[in-house]
Amino acid sequence: MIYIITSIVIVLILFIIYCYYEDFKVQKNYFEIEAKEIKKDYKIIQISDFHNEKNKWLHKQIIEIIKKEKPNIIVITGDLIDIDDIKYAKVFIEEIHNLAPIYYAPGNHEYLFGGYEDLRKILIDNNVNVLENNSIKLDNNIIIHGIKDPISGMPNDEDDVMKENLNSLKFTDDKYDILLSHRPEYFDMYTDYNVDLVFTGHAHGGQFRLPLFGSIFSPDQGLLPKYAMGMHIDKGTKMIVSRGLGNSMQAFIRINNRPELIIVSLLKK
């Protein structure tokens, strides 16, 4: 009996350690993209779905990676906060805002949270470029665009809102167009606008990843989501889906799906 109890305790301890590791040990994933529009090599780090995470070890890892990688810019693709608070999102932005220029587009949790204007002010006060259906021309022949999450236009149909958001932007043929959008499930729509590169999040990598099945569930895609992580290519448009860094209140544990920082190197072709 003692042997059984001891075994159960050991298994539980190991499971807790595993869950902690899966939830907070950041994984780096690298992508290289060649483009004729790029004048010189350019590095971008993507942050997504931070969800007001308070874990100091996670913060420390992200900061160390950014300092080591020395990106030209950082892009944040929504859900910086959860639906209840902005305290740790504020701390995080204050920790990283001097490491590289930051460009941010909001996610659905920003609009679900009643204090979004407070977060927006914090971002602007920390020199973060807030992109809400607008664009900024960068050096190196790059234009970076960002759109509001379609939930911002409720009660209108989200598909119609997304089309309106995209129609408000002007994509080019002779420059390299980067779009920040929280939602990966609109990939077919992004390809219609001939966007060169789209950064998205929202899917949390499927939250749980299992052998044979892969990603299990993602918001707005349901079971076995098609766009849960990685790079997807169609009609000349590349979309990168971040697994995100934090967990929402609704899904507070990851399995085989560590938090992720995306590092993209745009290379002159």
Q: Tell me: the pLDDT tens digits for 123-138?
A: 999 999 999 999 999 9
For the residues 222-249, what does the mean pLDDT come to?
93
In this predicted structure, what is the pLDDT of residue 249? 65
Report the topology of domain 2-268.
Purple Acid Phosphatase; chain A, domain 2 (3.60.21)
Domain ranges of the chain: 2-268
pTM, two decimal places: 0.94
Given a cut of 80, whether residue 21 has pLDDT beyond it is yes
| Amino acid symbol at 223 | L
Q: What is the band of 209 on the pLDDT scale with cuts at 50, 70, 90?
A: confident
In this predicted structure, what is the pLDDT of residue 82? 87
Q: Which of 96, 89, 37, 39 is nearest to 69 (CA)?
A: 96
Look at residue 64 and give its three-state secondary structure: helix
Q: Tell me: the pLDDT tens digits for 65-114?
A: 999 999 999 999 999 998 778 999 999 999 999 999 999 999 999 998 87
Question: What residues form DSSP beta bridges with 222?
Answer: 218
Residue 124 CB neighbour total at 10 angstroms: 12
Given a cut of 90, whether residue 180 has pLDDT beyond it is yes
C-alpha distances (whole Å) from 251 to each of 165, 190, 208, 219 are: 28, 28, 10, 11
Q: Tell me: the pLDDT tens digits for 40-61?
A: 999 999 999 999 999 999 999 9
For the residues 197-211, what does the mean pLDDT come to?
91
Percent of the chain with pLDDT over 90: 74
Q: What is the band of 250 on the pLDDT scale with cuts at 50, 70, 90?
A: low
Given a cut of 90, whether residue 155 has pLDDT beyond it is no
Q: Is 127 exposed, middle or buried (0-12, 13-18, 19+ CB in 10 A)?
A: exposed
In this predicted structure, what is the pLDDT of residue 33? 97
